[in-house]
């Protein structure tokens, strides 16, 4: 959760552009285009500034140079070598990659631990390069802008209807538009060709698509979208990629996966939340920069995004949410709380000024209607800590609210300031390398070497294994350790 403002990008340029025909660089066919190449580049440049502002560039120059070199090697051999290509690792924990028009390619640091070797990274970069060379990115942005996006936001307590948080309110909402089935298949095929052309073993690509499927089965649906949220899985996608691999994998040619080189590059990469934005530790959320912490109900799924922290009860449409109020309005804290909730469509049924671990707070119970849920009840606290006013509350359907009331209250009462020493001791989790021993299981490695920071299932998926497999003795694997 961050407190920096969201900057809007005006994309009316697309709407003002005259319709023209252009030759697709990949297919050679003439097609209707709303965007010239110069406009693609201009839009990419402007959105690139917003991406870097909103997501941040991962602070590892050597890793950035490594990804840039790989990307440029394929881009220069593509059908559009003269675009001003840029490749950036953004400081986001989600597992994703995306492309902007004009040659701007991004991968999240969150995808790196799930790639098993350099050839898989080449496949991901090649896939995104293909979205640019085949003009998928330009066409998607044209369609979306022409339709005025149609991104409707729900109330503050309905994260399931606003899956991109405040990203949808800015030009960054465009980053997560889904490409069509045919575009994805074409990007898979072209990405395979680009990777193979660079000497990387293309058979690594279907292996990573299998890993993505495993990730998707266990993925949360809040925060920045993961790969399969924005790259839909066409039918028989892995089979189709394997067919493409057979066409480019010439017998007798030497191929590289460069696994050891890749593992050395990502050794030490931050895994999960960055302490600058707050971190999740079990059922606790700690923010060392803003100097506060709290505990959500045990077993709930917790997602920390750019603008809010959301906890969801597994299997139920029950939520808790934490966010900073921007420019709170009111004569006092009670006035601020009642105004804020009223503006969001919730009516107070009770409330009182109090203190929570030494912090001024107003705790109230509210009723209202939430999109997709119907009639709901909310227990919410407005808490002053430092220079900020925080909203921390739980929402449930009216008929189950009583069951959750104690959990909501316990979480609210757990909000506390962090001492400087405790805040300074919070470090990010990072990737480390470990050689499996005879008798090791993912569970034993997760508990012993990883100190329970991630689950056994996550470790298996990270290392290109099915969750029913076990690591092989002497296998060099990635684990997650405290920073």
Domain shared by 71 and 186, yes or no: yes
Domain shared by 213 and 311, yes or no: no
Looking at every residue in the chain, the average pLDDT score rounds to 82
Whose CA is closest to 145, among 31, 35, 55, 41?
A: 35
Domain stop point among 227, 245, 269: 269
Q: What is the pLDDT of residue 16?
A: 35
Domain stop point among 207, 242, 269: 269
Domain shared by 434 and 420, yes or no: no
How does residue 28 score in pLDDT terms, banded at 50, 70 and 90?
low
Domains of the chain: total = 3
Whose CA is closest to 465, among 452, 453, 454, 478?
A: 478
Dihedral pair phi/psi, residue 476, rounded to 5°: -85, 120
CATH of the domain at 351: 3.40.1000.10
Whose CA is closest to 138, among 40, 25, 38, 50?
A: 40
Q: What is the pLDDT of residue 230?
A: 52
Residue 38 lies in a domain: yes
How does residue 218 score in pLDDT terms, banded at 50, 70 and 90?
low
Q: What is the pLDDT of residue 175?
A: 44
The mean pLDDT value for 401-409 works out to 97
Between 180 and 9, name the one with better pLDDT. Answer: 180
Domain shared by 57 and 203, yes or no: yes
Domain stop point among 378, 398, 424: 424
Rounded to whole angstroms, the Cα distance separating 21 from 12 reads 20
The mean pLDDT value for 443-456 works out to 84
pLDDT exceeds cutoff 70 at 22: no
Domain shared by 420 and 438, yes or no: no
Domain shared by 381 and 451, yes or no: no
End-to-end, the C-alpha distance of the chain in Å comes to 20
Residue 167 sits in which domain range? 19-269
Residue 2 lies in a domain: no
Burial class (CB in 10 A: 0-12, 13-18, 19+), 339: middle
pLDDT exceeds cutoff 50 at 64: yes
CATH of the domain at 435: 3.10.350
How does residue 11 score in pLDDT terms, banded at 50, 70 and 90?
very low
Residue 14 lies in a domain: no
Residue 229 lies in a domain: yes
The mean pLDDT value for 58-86 works out to 97
Domain shared by 419 and 458, yes or no: no
Domain shared by 222 and 251, yes or no: yes
Residue 7 lies in a domain: no
The mean pLDDT value for 160-170 works out to 32
User: pTM for the whole thing?
Assistant: 0.73
Residue 467 lies in a domain: yes
Domain shared by 325 and 226, yes or no: no
Between 371 and 259, name the one with better pLDDT. Answer: 259
Domain shared by 474 and 377, yes or no: no
Residue 226 lies in a domain: yes
Give the model confidence (pLDDT) of 226-238 as tens digits.
Answer: 544 555 454 477 7
pLDDT exceeds cutoff 80 at 143: no
Domain shared by 292 and 408, yes or no: yes
Contact indicator for 231, 184 with CB cutoff of 8 Å: yes
Contact indicator for 218, 457 with CB cutoff of 8 Å: yes
CB atoms within 10 A of CB 251: 4
Rounded to whole angstroms, the Cα distance separating 34 from 16 reads 9
The mean pLDDT value for 301-317 works out to 85
Packing angle, helices 237-248 and 204-218, rounded to 10: 160
The mean pLDDT value for 407-412 works out to 98
Domain shared by 169 and 31, yes or no: yes
Q: What is the pLDDT of residue 25?
A: 63
Contact indicator for 386, 290 with CB cutoff of 8 Å: yes
pLDDT exceeds cutoff 60 at 24: yes
Residue 4 lies in a domain: no
């Amino acid at each position: 959760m961050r407190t920096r403002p969201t900057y809007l990008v005006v994309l009316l340029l697309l709407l003002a552009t005259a319709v023209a025909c252009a030759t697709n660089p990949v297919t050679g066919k003439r097609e209707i285009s709303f965007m010239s190449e110069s406009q693609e580049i201009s839009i990419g440049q402007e959105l690139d500034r917003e991406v870097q502002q909103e997501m941040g560039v991962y602070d590892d120059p050597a890793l950035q140079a490594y990804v840039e070199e790989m990307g440029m090697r394929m881009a220069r051999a593509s059908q559009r070598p003269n675009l001003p290509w840029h490749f950036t690792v953004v400081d986001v924990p989600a597992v994703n990659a995306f492309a902007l028009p004009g040659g701007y390619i991004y991968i999240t640091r969150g995808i790196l631990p799930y790639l098993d070797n350099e050839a898989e990274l080449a496949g991901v970069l090649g896939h995104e390069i293909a979205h640019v060379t085949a003009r998928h990115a330009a066409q998607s942005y044209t369609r979306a802008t022409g339709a005025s996006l149609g991104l409707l936001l729900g109330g503050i307590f309905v994260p399931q209807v606003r899956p991109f948080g405040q990203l949808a309110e800015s030009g960054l909402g465009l980053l997560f538009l889904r490409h069509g089935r045919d575009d994805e298949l074409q990007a898979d095929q072209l990405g395979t060709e680009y990777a193979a052309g660079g000497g990387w073993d293309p058979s690594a690509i279907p292996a990573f698509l299998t890993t993505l499927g495993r990730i998707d089965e266990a993925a949360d649906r809040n925060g920045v979208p993961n790969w399969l949220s924005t790259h839909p899985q066409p039918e028989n996608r892995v089979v189709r990629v394997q067919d493409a691999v057979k066409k480019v994998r010439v017998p007798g040619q030497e191929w590289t996966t460069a696994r050891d080189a890749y593992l050395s590059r990502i050794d030490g990469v931050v895994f999960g939340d960055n302490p600058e934005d707050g971190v999740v530790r079990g059922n606790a959320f700690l923010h060392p920069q803003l100097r506060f912490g709290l505990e959500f109900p045990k077993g709930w799924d917790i997602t920390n995004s750019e603008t809010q922290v959301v906890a969801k009860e597994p299997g139920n449409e029950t939520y808790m949410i934490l966010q900073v109020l921007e420019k709170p309005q009111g004569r006092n804290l009670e006035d601020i709380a009642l105004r804020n909730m009223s503006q969001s469509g919730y009516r107070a049924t009770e409330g009182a000024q109090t203190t929570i671990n030494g912090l001024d707070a107003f705790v109230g119970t509210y009723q209202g209607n939430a999109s997709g849920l119907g009639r709901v009840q909310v227990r919410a606290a407005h808490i002053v800590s430092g220079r900020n006013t925080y909203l921390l509350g739980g929402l449930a359907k009216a008929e189950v609210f009583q069951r959750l009331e104690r959990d909501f209250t316990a979480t609210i009462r757990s909000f506390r300031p962090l001492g400087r020493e405790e805040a300074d001791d919070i470090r990010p989790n990072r990737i480390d390398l470990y050689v499996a021993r005879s008798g090791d299981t993912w569970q034993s490695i997760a508990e012993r070497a990883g100190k329970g920071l991630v689950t056994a299932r996550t470790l298996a998926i990270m290392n290109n294994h099915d969750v029913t497999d076990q690591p092989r003795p002497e296998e060099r694997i990635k684990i997650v350790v405290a920073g």
